[in-house]
Structure 1
Amino acid sequence: MCVMVFVANFQTQPSFSLLDHASMAWLERVGGDYGKQRLYGAAGYGAGGYFASVVASSLGIEWCFNMVLILSSISLFLLLTYVPNFQHEAEHHEKGELLKSLKAILHQHDVLILFAIVILAGIMGGLIDNFLFLYLFNLASDNPHIVGVVIAVETISELPFFFYANKIFERFGTAKCIFVSLVAYGIRMITYAFIQHPWLVLPIEVLHGLTYGLLLAAFTNYIYQAAPRGTEGTMIGVLFAVQRGIGGGLSTLCGGWIYGALGGRTMWGIAGFVVFPLSLLCTAGFAYLAHSYTTQSPTVSKADSGSITSDESSLLATSMEYGTKDISAQC
């Protein structure tokens, strides 16, 4: 079973960053907002989660795996048939400077602190992904319908934040959006630690729109804009690896041990009173160092931009120091 889980995650986890990068690369050519495209994934997640709970309670859990196989085959066919392979028009030697470009971006202190925030957010998000449904299932006396309803509420809460993410970033900036999203995480963790009736969690699950929809868009937006030209896909992959790999892995290992040894309430309490304050501390440092990437990337094609902002000039100087070529990005 462990081998099967490893192989399945090894195959599926890269798809998240690859889909995000494909969406942004496509939007650079045709124009549009990333969040408005990403909300379709949220809608599919909610519909699929609720339908899977109905299938599991009616036909058995094995039919959920059959459903995944069928839908995955359809998705693979659509990707191979209709999604083009966009690449930046880069010189051959520029593509060979990938490691130097990564070294340049990792010398930016704002990005390093952002990755620390991503790890802490990944821990809290991983606890929710791995243990919330089990926790509520046990509180509901093994009633599977609570899982489907919670997924539906979470998905509905994501839609407005994905749709209006661009306007929210323009109005408040990335750092403030991350701060508000982490506060929502803290409220969720503390509520889970003290809640007695599982159905009372539904109003709190509305905050999922902040902790997932807005936070994911903020992370992806900032990393995409901060990355040297030609390395956006790699940096988004690193973002997901840090969030789901390091943060998610720590939540699975440590959270699983705490859940089994000390109980779910203790696990949520540690997340709410230890991990959450640490994330706010890191966010304060990020807000001090962050560049003013206020618009969500991409809203228009990079090729259509004829100017370089002060933030981009700083990034350009850093990148050229390590041998990368000119960067021209709309912020």
Structure 2
Amino acid sequence: MRSSRSSPDKRTETGEGRTMLAVQFLRAYNFFYFSLLAVFISFLPVYLTFRGVSPAQIGVLIGMGSFVGILSQPLWGMVSDRYKTIKKIVLLTLGISVAVGFALFQSVHPAALFLLVGAMYLFMLPTDPLTESLNYRVAEQHGLSFGAIRTFGAIGYASASLIVGFAVDRLGMERLSWVYGVYGLLAFAFCLAVPDAPASGKRLSFADLRRFFAYPATLRFFLLVLVAAIPHRTNDSFLGVFVQSLGGTSGMVGQAWFVAAISEVAFFALSAWLLRTGSEIKWITLAAGLYAVRYALCAVAADPIWVVYLQVMQGITFAVFYTATIQYLYRIIPEEWKATGQTVLAVLFFGVSGIVGSIAGGWLFQHLGGSALYLGMAGVSLAGCLYSLTLWPRGTAST
């Protein structure tokens, strides 16, 4: 009798222990996945420069990759919704990304670089929105905030940026593939242990998706995301090249990304508190305005170390902006299309904006210089800030 009374408590403790272990595995996966993403995003332009690719050509390569991402992200998001699993799709896209990325960072021939960059965007880019969807839904299932999990991704991105920058300075750019491979294998291993996202019980309906995109508020919101994301993605593509153009080293490129990512940690941790009132559009407005200030100050920086220091604004710009957009999107989108909606957001944020930002940014960088590029980015961010003011009356509108 005594053991029978205690067994429910033991089962409860065991269940809580498994839940906590699953969340810890998800946090570890975020740490290593975003470390892997840091190697790809932060150092791909630097690697291409090392291989003799010009800024304009880098812009075309990354723009081409973003176009591939536009095609691939909705596909993988809809596959995830159709089969009601996020984890299995992440394992597939992540595993291929690790193999392709390892080959990319060993490649020298321009044709091979072109093909491998395209393949990376075909598989690596869709992994990001699926990972964010996995984070959001598992956190929701276990009563945690999105930031409580995503913070570990920011820590991973920060630490990898710093480590890889100094490692490349000491070991040479030729060893970048091995660094990428180690992070990739660790991310894949921890992904195997994370729980899958809870599946929606609702039947998928293309009519529901069409109605969702027919809402004027949704279209206005996605336009705001696109305008604000263009300068952000341009910075992703050319921050390292800009730092080096001012006389900075690969180590300083790593420091810049470290400062940017570590600043995200605090704001991802605070995101649940900051956004508790539901005023996402107001926070997006603030972030867009600070984006403009950040890029304008970069444009007038004469020393690369000031560009490094200015990346501390990444937290209030990207972390707050991105968390607010996800929270707003999940509040207005139909339940059965959340993974697809997250993917559409990523298509705009990392796809369409990446094409415009990379190609136009590469042309501006090559013909007018880095300072002119960052001044233009500040202007676009300011336009996004002003446009977001028109959405304030509808900021809490629901579909």
Length-normalised TM-score, structure 1: 0.83
Asked whether 1:221 is paired with 2:333, we answer no
Q: Do the aligned residues in 2 keep the contact of 1:109 with 1:289 (CA within 8 Å)? A: no
Residue 118 of structure 1, aligned match among 225, 231, 234: 225
Partner of 2:177: 65
Paired AA for residue 237 in structure 2: N
**Which position in structure 1 is the counterpart of 2:392?**
287
- Note the alpha carbon deviations across 1:265-287, whole angstroms, 9 max, x for none: 111122223x1232023201222
Deviation of residue 155 (structure 1)? Answer: 1.8
Match of 2:17 in 1: none
The answer as to 2:185 corresponding to 1:77 is no
Partner of 2:201: 89
User: For 1:170 and 1:120, how far apart are their aligned partners in 2?
Assistant: 25
Contact 1:113 1:285 in 2 (8 A): no
| CA distance in structure 2 between the partners assigned to 1:142 and 1:174 by the alignment | 37
Task: Give the drift of 1:142.
Answer: 4.4
Partner of 1:253: 359
Structure 2 unaligned regions, length at least 5? 1-112
- C-alpha contact (below 8 Å) 2:278/2:396 kept by paired residues: no
The C-alpha deviation readout for 1:207-248, integer Å capped at 9, x for no partner, is: 100121111101111111111011000000000011111011
1:186–1:272 contact (8 Å) kept in structure 2: yes
Q: Superposition pairs for residues 183-222 of structure 1, below 5 Å?
A: 183-222=289-328
Deviations 1:167-210 (A, max 9, x none): 11124710111011111110111112111111123442211001
Deviations 1:142-171 (A, max 9, x none): 422211221221122111110111111124
Aligned counterpart for 1:277 among listed residues 382, 391, 399: 382
Q: Give how far 1:290 is off.
A: 2.1
The match for 1:237 among 327, 336, 343 is 343
CA distance in 1, matches of 2:332, 2:175: 43
1:145 matched to which residue of 2? 251
For residues 242-263 of structure 1, give each alpha carbon's deviation from its aligned partner in whole angstroms, at most 9, with x where no partner exists.
1111011100011101111111
**8 A Cα contact 1:113 1:282, kept in partner:** no
CA RMSD of aligned residues (A): 1.6
Name the residue aligned to 1:34: 146
2:268 is the alignment partner of 1:268: no
Distance (whole Å) between structure 1 residues aligned to residue 258 and residue 323 of structure 2: 20
Distance 1:142 1:217 in 2: 31
1:131 aligns with 2:238: yes
Contact between 1:161 and 1:214, CA under 8 Å: does it hold in 2?
yes
Question: How many residues are paired up?
Answer: 287
Match of 1:176 in 2: 282
Counterpart CA distance in 1 for 2:293 and 2:171 is 36
Alignment-mate amino acid for residue 105 of structure 1 = F
**How far has the Cα of 1:26 moved from its partner?**
1.2
C-alpha separation between the residues in 2 aligned to 1:82 and 1:179? Answer: 35
Alpha-carbon distance between aligned partners in 2 of 1:52 and 1:69, rounded to the nearest angstrom: 12
The residue type equivalent to 1:200 in the other structure is W
Task: State whether structure 2 residue 116 is matched by structure 1 residue 4.
Answer: yes
**Alignment gaps of 5+ in structure 1:** 293-310, 316-331
Deviations along 1:59-115, one digit per CA (max 9) or x if unpaired, are: 11122221212221221232133332420122xxx22x1x21221221222221121
One-letter code of the match for 1:8?
A: M
Report if the CA contact (8 A) 1:116-1:282 is conserved: no
- Cα shift at 1:43: 0.3
User: Residue 286 of structure 2 contacts residue 385 of structure 2 at CA under 8 Å; is this kept in 1?
Assistant: no
Q: What is the match of residue 210 of structure 2?
A: 103
- Secondary structure of 2:180's counterpart equals helix
**Match among 252, 263, 266 for residue 160 of structure 1:** 266
- The one-letter amino acid paired with 2:372 is T
**Is residue 248–residue 304 contact of structure 2 (8 Å, CA) maintained in 1?**
no
Normalized per residue, the structure richer in helix is 2
